[in-house]
Amino acid sequence: MLKGKTALVTGSTSGIGLAIARAMAKDGANLVINGFGDAAAIEKERAGLETEFGIKAIYSGADMTKPAEIDAMIAQAEKQFGSVDVLVNNAGIQHVANIEDFPTDKWDAIIAINLSSSFHTIRAAIPGMKKRKWGRIINIASAHGLVASGQKVAYVAAKHGLVGLTKTVAIEAANNGVTCNAICPGWVLTPLVQKQIEARAKASGQSIEEAKVALLSEKQPMHQFTTPENIGALAVFLASDAAQSITGSAYSIDGGWVAQ
């Protein structure tokens, strides 16, 4: 379905972003991958995507806290492939603390990476999408884009902001062949969540397995993790022609978290 199209996925060197990039490549899209990590491991991943799926993949090391690097990443993608057709804003970080203990630099970083970077990528990529009359923007928000939890003030604020940004962009681009939607996952077992499980186990004296069950059952009626591949499949659906009239939506994929 996505053959000949270009998908750019921020934060795709790990976790959900990597699974989304793989799903887009499997569907035929050329890729721009992005994120931090070991240079040799990233190159291996990039080259592996090309061989496994018969597509072209380039890497951008743009830091999502830096608007100039984001502009350069979009320009690099358009120069290399002629277009950015599917833009997936996925890069994100977390920090857990009560507001009075929340470090101000962590607040700034979370707002920059989890919210403002999507403003910058969309601002740079949407003129090309509107001109070509086709584009798909998919913002990876969270159940925390719809409801809150304690100790996550910056994350919850950023993700609620991202859902709002999604709706505005959807309205603006509604008659230009461009859709903009958010995906709101519940718990997905990635390095971002593994850190929280380890911190819980340490604080409570539980085993890692016990801490996993405790984490899941506190929020989700379904006591199992959504997989990164589940989210990749939803992103590919939202990028398809079948989803052409879905815009401004926030899709929950959360084991019933926000149904309560």
Rg (CA), the chain: 18
CB of 211 to ligand NAD, least distance (A): 14
Choose between 30 and 90: whose C-beta lies nearer to ligand NAD.
90
187 touching ligand NAD, by CB under 6 A: yes
Compare residues 178 and 182 and give the one whose CB is closer to ligand NAD: 182
Decide: is 232 part of the binding site for ligand NAD (CB under 6 A).
Answer: no
Return the residues of window 47-76 that contact ligand NAD according to CB under 6 A: 63-65
To the query of whether residue 59 is one of the catalytic residues in this protein, the response is: no
**Contact (CB, 8 A) for 136 and 238:** yes
Q: Give the x/- contact pattern for ligand NAD in 144-183, rule: CB under 6 A.
A: ----------------------------------------
Residue 187 amino acid letter:
W
Catalytic residue among 59, 155, 225, 257: 155
CA–CA gap between residue 220 and residue 41 (Å, rounded): 34
Smallest separation (angstroms) from ligand NAD to the CB of 56: 20
User: According to DSSP H, which parts of the chain are helical?
Assistant: 15-26, 39-53, 67-81, 104-111, 117-132, 153-172, 191-204, 208-219, 228-239
Residue 11 sits in the site that holds ligand NAD (CB under 6 A): yes
153 close to 103: Cβ distance less than 8 angstroms? no
